[in-house]
């Protein structure tokens, strides 16, 4: 888990206070729904036909058990006893009353969770490989770079009103579990022939009504240059992206219409003007972020303990193991997944009791 510092906590708490005042003005009639719309979207709140929907960010898909229990509390106290985990590592609550939203945000802020930029035309939650940090064969933990991007993009004044929403994904494995090819910017972390850490950068991917596979805009960007190159892409998109048609406003349409060669040329020209600016990443910054991630004290364990050998004779256990247990980077450990695809139910839904049960399992075995 990444450990938030005092600045992180201050920003989250200030945002809760601001939103509480905005909700108060909306409920009193001081703000119309049209005036309130942009303010609520900055805090992950959508207006549905039946109620407001509240989307909460789970940066790079990592939660502590304390945070998971806080999500269970919100589901139980403010919603209808369940939440919906999304493909892009968020959770949504679909039945929260507007008057209670500030209290829900405040409860989540106590454990370092927020809803900033989970909706609206800005840079969204940075997602990563769901096995980041424990997957065999990783170049390094991609969550370190995901956190760097999260800090850089959160509340960035230049990119708060983009032509359309903008999504990042990052992986450090050959097997792309983060689906980087269907994101606005996809980043594959690897080491080049000289042993330098950097990224293959893909741009213009996306699904929806007009699906596109992202194209490689630059085969290798050094880690020190990541933020400046990403900003160059965002600047070009912000300048040339369409704002007259919501269905043609995503960067995938711009890349398709300009062509990847022309788009890459525009980005390169923009980047060369700013490459050596304050956006150049110092090693100390990366090391500071790396130091804020805590890892367990792994024990030396047998690869095939006797208990596992005995359980393997149970066909039900063996069927579960083949579908839900995967190799870990540390011998003697395993990655275990829990499916949120029930038979006859909506995929992604989890009740408050189920969230608490998952937290219990994580505390006992993880």
CA separation for the pair 14, 105 (Å, rounded): 11
With pLDDT > 70 as the criterion, what percentage of the chain qualifies?
Answer: 100
Rg over CA atoms, the chain: 22
Report which secondary-structure segment, H or E, holds 58.
none
Residue 159's pLDDT band, with cuts at 50, 70 and 90, is very high
Choose among 298, 348, 365, 361: nearest CA to 58.
348
Residues above pLDDT 90, as percent of the chain:
92
- Residue 276 DSSP class: T
pLDDT at 55 over 90: yes
pLDDT at 128: 97
Residues contacting 47, CB < 8 A, separation 6+: 33, 37, 40, 53
- What are the chain's domains? 6-109 (3.90.480.20), 127-291 (3.30.413.10), 306-365 (no CATH)
Burial class (CB in 10 A: 0-12, 13-18, 19+), 273: exposed
How confident is the model over 58-90, as pLDDT tens digits? 999 999 999 999 999 999 999 999 999 999 999
DSSP code of 206?
A: B
pTM here is 0.95
Q: What is the pLDDT of residue 290?
A: 94
Provide the pLDDT for residue 33. 94
Note the pLDDT tens digit of each residue in 322-352.
999 999 999 999 999 999 999 988 999 999 9
Residues 234-249: tens digit of each pLDDT: 999 999 999 999 999 9
- Residue 130 pLDDT > 90: yes
Model pLDDT for residues 210-233, shown as the tens digit of each residue: 999 999 999 999 999 999 999 999
- Kindly tell me if the per-residue pLDDT of 142 is higher than 90: yes
What local confidence, expressed as pLDDT, does residue 35 receive? 97
> What is the three-class DSSP state of 50?
coil
Q: Share the mean pLDDT of the chain.
A: 96
Tokens of 366: 């993880």
């Amino acid at each position: 888990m990444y450990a938030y510092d005092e600045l992180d906590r201050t920003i989250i708490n200030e945002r809760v206070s601001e939103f509480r005042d905005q909700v108060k003005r909306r409920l009193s009639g001081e703000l119309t729904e049209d005036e309130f719309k942009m303010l609520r979207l900055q805090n992950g709140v959508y207006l549905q036909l039946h109620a407001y929907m509240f989307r909460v960010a789970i940066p790079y898909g990592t939660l502590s058990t304390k945070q998971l229990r806080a999500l269970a509390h919100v589901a139980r106290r403010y919603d209808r006893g369940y939440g919906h985990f999304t493909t892009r590592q968020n959770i949504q609550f679909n039945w929260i009353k507007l008057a209670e939203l500030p209290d829900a945000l405040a409860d989540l802020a106590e454990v370092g969770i927020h809803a900033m930029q989970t909706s609206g035309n800005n840079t969204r939650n940075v997602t990563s490989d769901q096995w980041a940090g424990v997957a065999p064969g990783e170049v390094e933990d991609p969550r370190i770079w995901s956190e760097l991007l999260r800090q850089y993009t959160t509340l960035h004044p230049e990119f708060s009103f983009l032509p359309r929403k903008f999504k990042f994904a990052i992986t450090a494995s050959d097997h792309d579990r983060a689906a980087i090819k269907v994101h606005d910017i996809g980043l594959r972390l690897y080491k080049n022939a000289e042993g330098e850490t950097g990224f293959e950068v893909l741009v213009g991917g996306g699904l929806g009504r007009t699906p596109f596979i992202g194209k490689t805009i630059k085969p290798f960007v050094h880690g020190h240059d990541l933020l400046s190159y990403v900003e160059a892409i965002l600047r070009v998109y912000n300048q040339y992206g369409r704002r007259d048609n919501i269905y043609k406003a995503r960067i995938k349409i711009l890349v398709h219409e300009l062509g990847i060669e022309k788009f890459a040329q525009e980005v390169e020209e923009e980047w060369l003007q700013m490459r050596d600016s304050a956006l150049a990443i110092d090693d100390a910054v990366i090391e500071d972020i790396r130091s804020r991630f805590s890892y367990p004290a792994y024990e030396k364990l047998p690869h095939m303990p006797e208990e596992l050998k005995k359980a393997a004779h149970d066909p039900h256990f063996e069927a579960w193991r083949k579908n839900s247990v995967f190799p870990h980077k540390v011998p003697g450990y395993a990655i275990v997944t829990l499916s949120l695809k029930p038979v006859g139910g909506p995929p992604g839904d989890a009740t408050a009791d189920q969230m608490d049960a998952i937290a219990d399992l994580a505390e006992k075995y993880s």
